[in-house]
């Protein structure tokens, strides 16, 4: 049908305004992230998300202040179960990782070899161990179970044990390349692998975010979780066995520190270039938190452990209160028990967090969806109004010019 021109123009104007409203309301709201968290918090009348230079915290009522004395160049606090990042400072800053890179080495190589298989170590296996490396005491000609080698990696950060396992895995360079591929599959984009043991090598970097991803992926493997939680063990020698202790002082309770309550690992590291680094996990009241700390600058004894402990304390105090500022990608692994044969591979995979869990509050996807829904509703209402107006005009004796 044709519509009377004046009413047609008015109805079109109304529809146009509604359509404009659609596009305006469908612009995604700022996600509650490291970039937008402070603005969102101020708008909501809460405390800004920034707690000191470069520090981001999800603002919410009751969230305690992050300690203001932390000196690390980079750190991050996350929930290992949900993947929520609760607070961070420069989480994607690329820094030398030292032996915390062994977490990625273990995620890549550990699923391949049965714990009870035995390796007789050759001279080639130990070739290239760097000067000043931490060693567990692997000897040429010695016979070692794979489980012993992994205890050497996790407890003593033994670069000699890493070299033997990498040799079993096809060689040093191939293992570095495979670690790089694993990092990419896990969504860890800040990491460049040059030396699988974490030894200072030009161009080798990672970040607090990536190291947290590796720690979380490792904890999904029962063998990784068991090794990284072991405080003391026996290691075979030519004379029998020797007692080894975990160099992670939060776990072993050494060098003037008591074990952190609820500590379950994961891995510490140190080199001259990297300083002290640490990925630490602890569990309390059914909640598991991961903290990564890179290169504290205070010069205080045990600084990396004290700062990690303070961040874990903050995380447990903030449990259920702090809004996530980011979300780690979800890690899916095949069962670690399926390790038949030296080259059997588990598949570290990732899924989009949208398919694994609800969107964080205030995310761009959620805001966009709500905007579109509201805009479409506005169009429907406006068109309904225009039609009613036209019908009202007909009832007042203003029929259209013609009908088809």
Distance separating alpha carbons of residues 338 and 345, to the nearest angstrom: 8
Which CA distances in Å does 81 have to 37, 164, 228, 256, 357? 23, 33, 17, 31, 11
- Token pair of 255, please? 């060098």
Residue 278 token pair: 């640490």
- Which residues partner with 63 through β-bridges? none
| Catalytic residue selected from 74, 78, 102, 306 | 102
Told to judge if 364 belongs to the known catalytic residues of this protein, a careful annotator would answer no
Q: Are 97 and 76 in contact (CB under 8 A)?
A: no
b/e code 226-247 from CB counts within 10 Å (16+ = b): bbbbbbebebbeeeeeeebbbb
Summarize the chain as % helix, strand, coil (round to 5).
Answer: 40, 20, 45
* Burial state string for 286-300 with b = 16 or more CB within 10 A and e = fewer than 16: ebbbbbbbbbbeeee
Would you give the distance in Å from CA 326 to the centre of its chain? 9
Contact criterion met (CB below 8 Å) for 136 and 150: no
Tell me the three-class secondary structure of 243-266, residue by residue: EEECCCHHHHCCCCCCCCCCEEEE
74, 78, 99, 133: which one is catalytic? 99
Q: How far apart are CA 374 and CA 94, in angstroms?
A: 42
Structure tokens at 148: 């012993």
Nearest alpha-carbon partner for 83 in 368, 393, 358, 375? 358
Considering the candidates 74, 157, 167, 206, report the single residue annotated as catalytic: 157
- Which DSSP string corresponds to 158-182? -HHHHHHHHHHTT-HHHHHHHHHHH
CA torsion angle for 98, 100, 102, 105 (degrees, to 10)?
Answer: -110
The answer to whether residue 78 is catalytic is no
DSSP β-bridge partners for residue 266: 280
Q: Is 195 one of the catalytic residues? A: no
What is d(CA 211, CA 76) in angstroms, rounded to the nearest whole number? 10
Q: Are 154 and 279 in contact (CB under 8 A)?
A: no
Catalytically active residues are 99, 102, 157
């Amino acid at each position: 049908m044709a519509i009377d021109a004046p009413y047609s123009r008015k109805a079109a104007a109304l529809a146009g305004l509604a359509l404009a409203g659609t596009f305006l309301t469908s612009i995604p709201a700022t996600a509650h992230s490291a970039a937008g968290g402070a603005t969102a918090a101020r708008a909501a009348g809460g405390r800004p998300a920034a707690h000191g230079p470069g520090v981001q915290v999800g603002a919410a009522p009751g969230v305690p202040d992050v300690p203001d004395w932390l000196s690390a160049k980079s750190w991050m606090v996350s929930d290992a179960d949900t993947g929520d990042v609760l607070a961070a400072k420069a989480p994607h800053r690329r820094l030398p990782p030292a032996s915390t890179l062994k977490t990625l080495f273990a995620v890549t190589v550990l699923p391949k070899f049965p714990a009870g298989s035995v390796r007789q170590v050759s001279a080639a296996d130990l070739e290239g161990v760097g000067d000043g490396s931490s060693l567990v005491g692997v000897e040429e000609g010695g016979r070692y179970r794979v489980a012993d080698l992994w205890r050497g990696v996790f407890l003593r950060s033994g670069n000699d044990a890493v070299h033997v396992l990498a040799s079993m895995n096809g060689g040093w360079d191939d293992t570095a390349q495979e670690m790089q591929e694993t990092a990419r599959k896990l969504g860890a984009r800040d990491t460049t692998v040059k030396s699988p043991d974490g030894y200072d090598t030009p161009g080798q970097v990672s970040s607090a975010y990536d190291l947290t991803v590796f720690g979380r992926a490792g904890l999904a493997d029962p063998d990784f979780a068991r090794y990284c939680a072991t405080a003391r063990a026996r290691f075979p020698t030519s004379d029998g066995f020797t007692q080894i202790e975990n160099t992670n002082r939060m776990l072993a309770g050494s060098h003037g520190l008591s074990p952190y309550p609820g500590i379950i690992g994961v891995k510490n590291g140190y080199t001259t270039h990297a300083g002290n680094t640490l990925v630490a996990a602890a569990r309390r009241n059914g909640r598991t938190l991961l903290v990564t700390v890179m290169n504290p600058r205070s010069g205080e004894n045990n600084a990396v452990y004290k700062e990690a402990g303070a961040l874990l304390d903050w995380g447990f105090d903030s449990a259920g209160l702090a809004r996530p500022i980011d979300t780690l990608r979800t890690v899916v692994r095949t069962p670690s028990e399926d390790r038949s044969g030296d080259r059997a591979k588990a598949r570290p995979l990732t899924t989009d967090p949208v398919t694994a869990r609800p969107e964080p509050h205030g995310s761009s996807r959620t805001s966009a969806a709500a905007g579109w829904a509201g805009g479409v509703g506005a169009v429907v209402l406006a068109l309904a109004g225009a039609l009613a107006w036209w019908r009202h005009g007909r009832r007042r004796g203003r029929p259209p010019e013609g009908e088809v």
